[in-house]
Chain A
Amino acid sequence: MIHELMQILPMAIVVIGAFILMLLSRSRVVDLNKLNLVAVFFLALSFLLELPQFGRTEAVYSFPEIFGKMYIIDDFSTLFDLMFSAGAIMTLLINTDYFKSRSYFNGEYFALILFSVFGMMTLAHSNELITTFIGLEIASLSIYALVGYHKRNKISSEAMMKYLVLGSMTGAFFVLGTALIYGSTGSTNFNDISAFIASHSQEDLTLVIVGGTFIMITIMFKIGAVPFHSWVVDIYHGAPYPVTMFMASTFKIAVFAIALRIYLIEFASISSLWTPMLQVLTIITLIGGSLMAISQSMVKRMLAGSSIVHSGYMLIAISSIGLGSEMAAPAIMFYLIAYFISAVGAFGILSFIAAHSKKQMTYEDFKGFSQRRPYMALMMAIFMLSLSGFPSTIGFLGKFYIFTAAIESGQILLAALGILTAFISVYYYFRLIAVMYFYPSDESQKKFQINLSSSLVALMALLVIWGGIGTTLIPFIPGVDGFIDIAKQAIGSLYIK
């Protein structure tokens, strides 16, 4: 009993923290700074309790007598939990300056962040379609509210409406898909469904396949795959910087968590059916995302567009799984880690700058940035290098594994297209490096403030470099192999029953 409680404690702490924050948010005594610390405290507690749990040898269901097999706890979900709470902590701490500089922030912001983390954790742990939907909606609803947080701002409210309407509509697809699958298999549990699929021939599975396709549409919408991508750029643009950072780095990963579990477990035996559809989606996502990213003049919108391209790279690997590639699943895991670190850093710097100026942050605004803030510029350059997949960064290895997996599965042309879009991405990422470094600045150099925000961003920059070149030669510090082993172990845990 105690043991089982300990296992779900990390999640329970997050949701308890969210309620406490809700209660505190109306208090006159507790100001935003303190609320922030309370939120970080709960998240950090959850993170620390979760950390020693990674590396278990078996997957367990929590409270099976109550929940049945709804709720699974394995290394896969633990790794995602860790990333979610780390992402939320980063979002809160790096943006300390930002929400102090904007008057519209108040207490609910923190509660919403924690609620959405709870939703994402549910998503990562869920072993059943209804739970998945609930987790997805808890996370999404919090995010909808966060996107429209700046109530008096037209762009922000418009973004929220767009996201809410489109998101709810695609949510309906998920429910419909669930209903179809339930109607055909009589269960919503992943294990039962996968057993049903394995024991029936393809003619009996029409409803399951249609239902699965509907579910996939929801997932494709959430990761911003073309043609379900029209919201991405506007919503990333309209949302306040901390929320954009949270969405791009953390929420996106959560969607991949459920996508991987569904694809690897539930539909494992028929996943190759979707491969042609996925391949087409991948091709248009890569091209469409590149076109969106290349035409933006605002850095935030460029990063939004490029996040579509990153989804495209991961889709390459997902369709490789269907074609029998063994490396593909760990490759996605590694890519998620790599993208998480780089995106947290890049958006962190953006919101750090936004906190200190009222600028729109177009490319123009970055002129001479390397002279005003040399260290910040260097870190931004490192994140851009990583996102563009330049060697000596973690982003390069992420692409390396994805493309190798694509070659393994025989998708040579898809790998070639991936490399071509990586080349295009060099243009828009290096454009930022170029404006930062190529133009002199009129203003004098600002002092590098060493505080929590900046040291966290610096930590991310170090991780990006270490994840790209880290060797195992130095004892006690895991090198690149460490990252890969973590990814492999998390994926491996999915298959332990």
Chain B
Amino acid sequence: MEQILSNIIFVPLLTALILGLSSASLRWIRLGAAASSLIVMALVIVAILNFDPSGGMQFVRIAPWIQNYGITYYVGVDALSLVILVLISLLMPILYAYIWKEERKGYWFNMMILQTGITGAVLALDMVLFYLFWETMLLPIFILIGRYGNGAFRYNAMRLLLMTILGSMTMLFSILYLGYTYFETTGSWSFAINDLSGLDFNPQTSIWLAAGFLLAFAIKIPLVGFHTWMAPAYGSSPTPAVVILSAIMAKLGVYGLWRFGYGLFETTLVYYAPTIVGLAIIGLIFYAIHAIMEPNLRRMFAYSSGSHLSLIALGIIVTNIYGWGGSIYFIATHALASAGIFLMIGLLYKRTKSVTIDDLGGIAAMAPRFAFFFVFFALSIAGLPGTGGFVAELLIIIGAFKANLWIGVLAATTMISAMLYIFWMLQRTVFGPAGSHTEAFADLDGREMGMLIPLVLLLLITGIAPSLFVPYLEPQIEGALAEVMRAIGGIQ
């Protein structure tokens, strides 16, 4: 059990290394990648079965790495990282099914390395290890967009890279400062998060240090103002990359806000809370307006994704049980729904070579199965009752109302605006007269249905029976919340 997380992290990377060094043929690469993702999935299921909802960090593994500076290989999983871990292990096989016919080998290798990067970033509890994975996951995305993308993809890949690394660099500075302060106060080095969280700073230093982290996360989410890379990068990405970007990597920004923001800077976060709430509220409205006006489907859902992630960030920052519970729930359900919709857009692009709304129309008449799935995922993005997104959004909005009436009112607009752009888009793409690119439209085949059905089922289950998941999440969220409340001196 001790090694289970290490295996989950490194099986894909090792597979990629073995396949790469042996110059394997495409057939083997494909099988190897699929096998690695299924092995990881099996391991994650084992982990879930052994997970104790009331215990804190679990399956912890600490091994010395760079002893001179007290840097350790330190991984562990709690409720929130388990949620993201499950999503990753679920999405990877689906993405492999999606790219099954892909013949460019680089695609497969990058996907495997990407899986190791994102998994590692979620599970790492040592700051330097976290930073390593946080940066590493960027490389495959950079290559995937810059090599296999569309539009001005090279430029957009560079832009994504530079903006995200700018955030990472400020975070690195804060990490180094924290590590050194720990050394100064205790006489020994450590970069483990639970060691660093005990440090005391004067408020001014703490504000600067927190800014280093917050910039990294704000760019990753992206909060409004730090978002200029988002729509171009989403628009230029090949489908698997955009699914990972929206379903996992953006969530890692929120995850970081929660894990490191609250883990290291509880009190300072109070100082930043009004700013973040403001940016989140402006963001969810601003992105929604963009989404309404956007003619390109990929970019439209990029904005929609930004809007919903702002809502998640809001839920995290209002610091009450509804906000936190809803945010964590939304992380899961939004990942499922956005993975679904971006896969549908990918399938659409394969058929029509266009994702511009004006070129489309009348799909429902020609391809009813395609239309069904498309409409389903689009509506679960909009928060249709009965899908998981509805439950989560509702919880966050209740949390926002508990914090402040006006925050609640403004947060609630996201449900209305999402309905607006989703329905208008559906009307112009799926229904209505056939567009210039949709005169002949092939319906979904068995493989495509196979990869979409698990997403549909999970969205329905999370929507109809949230009580199945609550026992897993609630004890830890309550525990963590109580801790934060104690630190900032508030009442729950």
Residues of A within 8 A of B (CB): 390-392, 396-397, 400-401, 403-404, 407-408, 412, 415-416, 419-420, 422-423, 426-427, 430-431, 434, 437-438, 469, 471-473, 479-481, 484-485, 488
Q: A423-B166, A438-B154, A438-B157 are in contact. Are A480 and B65 (CB under 8 A)?
A: yes
Q: A391-B135, A392-B132, A426-B165 are in contact. Are A438 and B66 (CB under 8 A)?
A: no
A437 touching B176, Cβ below 8 Å: no
B69 CB to nearest A CB, Å = 8
Q: A437-B143, A481-B67 are in contact. Are A408 and B180 (CB under 8 A)?
A: yes
Chain B 68-96 per-residue mask, 1 if CB under 8 angstroms from chain A, else 0: 11000100000000000000000000000
Q: A391-B132, A472-B67, A473-B63 are in contact. Are A404 and B176 (CB under 8 A)?
A: yes
Chain B 143-161 per-residue mask, 1 if CB under 8 angstroms from chain A, else 0: 1001100000110011001
Q: Which residue of B lies closest to A385 (CB)?
A: B139
Main secondary structure of the interface of B (DSSP, over half): helix
Q: A391-B131, A438-B147, A472-B67 are in contact. Are A407 and B177 (CB under 8 A)?
A: yes
For the A-B complex with A390-B139, A472-B67 known, give 18 more contacts whose Cβ atoms are closer than 8 Å.
A391-B128, A391-B136, A392-B132, A396-B132, A397-B66, A400-B69, A404-B176, A419-B173, A434-B142, A438-B154, A438-B157, A469-B132, A471-B64, A471-B65, A471-B73, A473-B64, A479-B66, A480-B66
CB of B179 within 8 Å of the partner chain: yes
Q: A390-B135, A471-B73 are in contact. Are A419 and B158 (CB under 8 A)?
A: no
Bound Cα distance A284, B92 (Å):
47
The interface size of chain B toward A, counting residues with CB under 8 Å, comes to 34
CB of B169 within 8 Å of the partner chain: yes
Bound Cα distance A313, B317 (Å):
38
Contact partners of A430 in chain B: CB under 8 A: 142, 158, 161
Bound Cα distance A322, B382 (Å):
61
CB of B35 within 8 Å of the partner chain: no
Bound Cα distance A392, B143 (Å):
17
Contact partners of A479 in chain B: CB under 8 A: 65-66
Contact partners of A408 in chain B: CB under 8 A: 180
Bound Cα distance A162, B162 (Å):
37
Contact partners of B132 in chain A: CB under 8 A: 391-392, 396, 469
Chain B 407-433 per-residue mask, 1 if CB under 8 angstroms from chain A, else 0: 000000000000000000000000000
Contact partners of B166 in chain A: CB under 8 A: 423
Bound Cα distance A480, B73 (Å):
13
Bound Cα distance A419, B177 (Å):
12
Bound Cα distance A479, B72 (Å):
13
B144 CB to nearest A CB, Å = 10
B68 touching A403, Cβ below 8 Å: no
Q: Which residue of B lies closest to A431 (CB)?
A: B158
B169 touching A407, Cβ below 8 Å: no
Chain B 102-138 per-residue mask, 1 if CB under 8 angstroms from chain A, else 0: 0000000000000000000000000010011001100
A156 CB to nearest B CB, Å = 34
Bound Cα distance A472, B162 (Å):
33
Bound Cα distance A408, B147 (Å):
42
Contact partners of A397 in chain B: CB under 8 A: 66
Contact partners of A400 in chain B: CB under 8 A: 69, 128, 176
B68 touching A485, Cβ below 8 Å: yes
CB of B172 within 8 Å of the partner chain: yes
Bound Cα distance A480, B173 (Å):
21
Contact partners of B180 in chain A: CB under 8 A: 404, 407-408
A437 touching B147, Cβ below 8 Å: yes
Contact partners of A488 in chain B: CB under 8 A: 68
Q: Which residue of A lies closest to B73 (CB)?
A: A471
B157 CB to nearest A CB, Å = 7
B135 touching A419, Cβ below 8 Å: no
A438 touching B63, Cβ below 8 Å: no
Q: Which residue of A lies closest to B178 (CB)?
A: A407
Q: A390-B135, A485-B68 are in contact. Are A419 and B147 (CB under 8 A)?
A: no
Contact partners of B136 in chain A: CB under 8 A: 391-392
A489 CB to nearest B CB, Å = 12
Bound Cα distance A473, B67 (Å):
11
Bound Cα distance A488, B143 (Å):
38
B63 touching A422, Cβ below 8 Å: no
A437 touching B146, Cβ below 8 Å: yes
Q: A434-B158, A438-B147, A438-B157 are in contact. Are A422 and B169 (CB under 8 A)?
A: yes
B29 CB to nearest A CB, Å = 14
B232 CB to nearest A CB, Å = 15
B66 touching A484, Cβ below 8 Å: yes
Bound Cα distance A436, B132 (Å):
23
Bound Cα distance A420, B215 (Å):
14
